[in-house]
Amino acid sequence: MNILEQLSFFSPKILIASSYFLIFWIISIFISSWVLKLTENSIHNREVREISAKTSKVGIVICGLALSLNELGVNVGVIFATLGLVSFAVGFSLRDTLSNFFDGVCLTQYKPFQVGDSIKVGEFSGEVIAMDLRFTSLIGKEKLILIPNSYLLTNPIVIKVNSKK
């Protein structure tokens, strides 16, 4: 095949693949903003809402990319199989970090205690000064204590009642 024949063969495929990707990109923008609006009243933590919106956006864009690559003749099954194995390996190596992250999401949703409360968890006790998606920070007897959120959800928490404001 000469270059003109190749160009005439691939031009429609490139146009169709680009159209698929553009359509999925636009859909992802609408879905992302819809997820933010939908979760506004149910998820009060802004970080969790934004992560949910970004995850939905990335998922839709990946679907559009897969459809576009398939249109161009790329075997996306092999790509997804490789990504699956890599995701498994990365997920296994980051399991503690991911556990703390998801436990942080649970803590921000259920709110067993708030910033300013005095709590005791295991051998740690102090006033809660910050809560994020990975750690909860306590000020103890002249020291800062960072407690992984997974530790908080797997151990009994004692909340001192007189510390409630």
Q: What is the spatial distance between Cα 93 and Cα 103, in angstroms, rounded to a whole number?
A: 17
Count Cα atoms within 13 angstroms, Cβ side, for 119: 23
What's the CATH class of domain 113-163?
mainly beta
Angstrom distances, CA of residue 123 to CA of 22, 70, 115: 55, 56, 19
Q: Where are the beta strands (DSSP E) in the chain?
A: 118-121, 124-131, 135-140, 143-148, 157-159
pTM of the model: 0.58
Q: 104-113 burial, b for 16+ CB within 10 Å, e for fewer? A: bbebbeeeeb
pLDDT in tens, the chain (165 residues): 677 777 777 788 889 999 999 999 999 999 999 998 988 887 667 777 888 899 999 999 999 999 999 988 889 989 889 989 998 898 888 888 888 778 877 887 778 888 889 999 988 999 999 888 788 899 988 899 999 888 888 888 898 876 444
> 3-93 has which fold?
Helix Hairpins (1.10.287)
Q: Domains of the chain: which residue ranges?
A: 3-93, 113-163
